[in-house]
């Protein structure tokens, strides 16, 4: 103790102040900021630029993650001038020339999110701090996307979200460094509402079963908002634990509730299980209030439809994109992906592929990899030829606006992949909303 006091007393006042300031800076900032105080994080020095693909490689969404990774690898190939170029031939405007980005070839590293926020943050952190990733992209869950987006904002690295559907990603949790091409629950509600009215009428009573996390709440809110606008009543909205497995105890109260529509705000395995069990309880054969009982699954994916088997037939939902679209961009992507892997891409693969091209193109247009310049290039960027018609990355919330698909489980599939039938390509105008509606603050770029 006495020695410590002696040591302290030998320090000069100036030396003490210097040491204190240096210590405070070092303690409050991650190493990654300190090492690039005057440039930007992971500014590429060699002949390559590294991107970080953070997808679920294990866990319940591993199949979806594997498809995302396939799409990312294909995008890298196309950007570097390999393969047939895919959407690089259809996307307009496009500055990429098929020789990399800003004179550098694109390389990548991968991380496993395990569909867990903490694991996803830790793999993103590793890719930024150890592997030198300049941009992070991926995810198959809104909880994960929001957690990683927030980390990227702190680190000053751009995050191009993969499959995330909660309003919060570009709403209350939006960030300056985060961008989402995928649609959201607000758009699902806006696109699905009129189709539900046409198919099932205005006089309906809905019962919601909702996955108890950010995406489920967001999905439930949007569908309630748009169906109640039509005149539907909401009998109950019951939260179910994520990964419940057996949903029988949540489905049985629906039987005699007086509701004639069950809305399953579930995704992935939860949706497969709850739909299978709802059908077993005879809900689809039931008549309530003089009407045929209906089930609605607001967010569909082809991989989910595979798991649900026969039960998905005739069920309405919405999706970001489907491989059966006939526009030039979709066809170019399906052709490349099909030739490379032997089967069609999922909607998750599509959004990940497009996000990678958009990021690379923004770097090329900005003439820099500096995130502030890239953000500026992405904000308000209008493009076409990537599926879903003319699209805009809205500057106010970094959400892409484009056409949305309303789909139905195919009653008579022509092949093992033909599981969803596109009922309507809902125009972008119908799903647009003011950026202020979902709240949140983008924050600023750390230039």
Asked if residue 237 lies in contact with residue 206, where contact means CB atoms within 8 angstroms, the answer is no
Query: Binding string, 378-417, against other proteins, x = CB under 8 A?
Result: ------------------------------------xxxx
Among 89, 95, 150, 248, binds other proteins (CB under 8 A): 248
Query: Binding string, 329-358, against other proteins, x = CB under 8 A?
Result: --x--xx-xxx-xxxx--------------
CB of 302 to other proteins, least distance (A): 11
Q: Is 85 in the site for other proteins (CB under 8 A)?
A: no
Q: Is 241 in the site for other proteins (CB under 8 A)?
A: yes
CA quadruple 167, 361, 82, 158: dihedral sign: negative
CB of 382 to other proteins, least distance (A): 28
**Which DSSP string do the residues of 57-124 spell out, in sequence order?**
-SSTTHHHHHHHHHHHHHHHHHHTT-TT-GGGGT-BS----SS-BTTBEEEEEEEE-TT-HHHHHHHH
Taking Cα atoms as reference points, which of 292, 330, 298 lies closest to residue 317? 298
CB of 86 to other proteins, least distance (A): 11
Q: Is 95 in the site for other proteins (CB under 8 A)?
A: no
Query: Quick one: DSSP state of residue 206?
Result: E
Beta strands in 100-204 (DSSP E): 105-112, 135-138, 158-161, 178-180
Q: Is 84 in the site for other proteins (CB under 8 A)?
A: no
Among 40, 53, 217, 250, binds other proteins (CB under 8 A): 250
Query: With left for phi above 0 and alpha for psi between -120 and 50, is residue 422 left, alpha or beta?
Result: beta
Asked if residue 393 lies in contact with residue 358, where contact means CB atoms within 8 angstroms, the answer is yes
Helix (H, G, I), strand (E, B) or coil at 387: coil
How many residues touch other proteins under the rule CB under 8 A: the total is 49
Query: Binding string, 294-333, against other proteins, x = CB under 8 A?
Result: ---------x--xxxxxx-------------------x--
Asked if residue 259 lies in contact with residue 200, where contact means CB atoms within 8 angstroms, the answer is no
CA–CA separation, 59 and 80 (whole Å)? 31
Query: Binding string, 410-439, against other proteins, x = CB under 8 A?
Result: ----xxxxx---------------------
Q: Give the residue with the Cβ less far from other proteins, 133 or 420.
A: 420
> What stretch of H or E contains 118?
helix 117-129
Q: Is 60 in the site for other proteins (CB under 8 A)?
A: yes
Which residues contact other proteins (rule: CB under 8 A)? Answer: 59-63, 236, 238, 241, 243, 245-246, 248-250, 252-253, 255-256, 269, 272-273, 276-277, 280-282, 285, 303, 306-311, 331, 334-335, 337-339, 341-344, 414-418
């Amino acid at each position: 103790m006495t020695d410590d006091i002696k040591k302290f007393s030998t320090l000069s006042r100036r030396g003490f102040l210097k040491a204190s300031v240096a210590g405070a800076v070092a303690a409050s900032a991650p190493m990654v900021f300190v090492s690039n105080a005057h440039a930007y994080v992971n500014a590429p020095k060699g002949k390559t630029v590294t991107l970080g693909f953070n997808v679920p490689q294990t866990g319940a969404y591993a199949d979806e993650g594997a498809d995302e990774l396939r799409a990312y690898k294909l995008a890298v190939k196309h950007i570097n001038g390999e393969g047939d170029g895919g959407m690089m031939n259809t996307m307009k405007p496009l500055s990429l020339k098929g020789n990399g980005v800003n004179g550098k070839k694109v390389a990548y590293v991968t991380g496993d999110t395990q569909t867990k926020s903490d694991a996803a943050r830790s793999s993103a952190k590793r890719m930024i701090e150890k592997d030198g990733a300049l941009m992070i992209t991926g995810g198959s869950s809104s909880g994960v996307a929001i957690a990683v987006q927030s980390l990227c904002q702190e680190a000053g690295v751009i995050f191009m979200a993969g499959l995330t559907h909660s309003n919060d990603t570009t709403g209350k949790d939006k960030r300056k460094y985060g961008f989402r091409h995928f649609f959201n629950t607000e758009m699902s509600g806006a696109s699905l509402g009129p189709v539900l009215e046409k198919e099932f009428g205005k006089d309906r009573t809905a019962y919601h079963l909702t996955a108890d996390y950010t995406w489920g709440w967001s999905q439930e809110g949007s569908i309630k908002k748009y169906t109640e606008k039509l005149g539907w009543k909401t009998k109950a909205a019951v939260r179910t634990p994520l990964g419940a497995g057996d949903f029988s105890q949540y489905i049985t109260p629906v039987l005699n509730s007086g509701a004639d529509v069950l809305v399953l705000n579930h995704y992935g395995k939860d949706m497969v299980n709850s739909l299978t069990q709802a059908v077993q309880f005879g809900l689809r054969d039931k008549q309530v209030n003089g009407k045929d009982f209906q089930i609605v699954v607001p967010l569909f994916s082809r991989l989910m439809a595979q798991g649900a088997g026969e039960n998905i037939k005739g069920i309405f939902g919405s999706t970001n994109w489907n491989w059966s679209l006939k526009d030039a961009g979709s066809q170019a992507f399906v052709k490349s992906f099909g030739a490379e892997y032997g089967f069609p891409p999922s909607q998750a693969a599509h959004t990940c592929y497009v996000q990678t091209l958009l990021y690379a193109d923004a770097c090329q247009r900005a003439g820099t990899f500096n995130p502030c310049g890239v953000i500026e290039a992405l904000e308000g960027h209008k493009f076409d030829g990537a599926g879903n018609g003319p699209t805009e990355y809205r500057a106010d919330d970094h959400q892409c606006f484009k056409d949305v698909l309303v789909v139905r489980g195919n009653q008579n599939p022509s092949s093992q992949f033909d599981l969803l039938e596109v009922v309507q390509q809902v125009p972008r105008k119908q799903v647009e909303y003011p950026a202020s509606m979902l709240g949140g603050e983008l924050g600023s770029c750390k230039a």
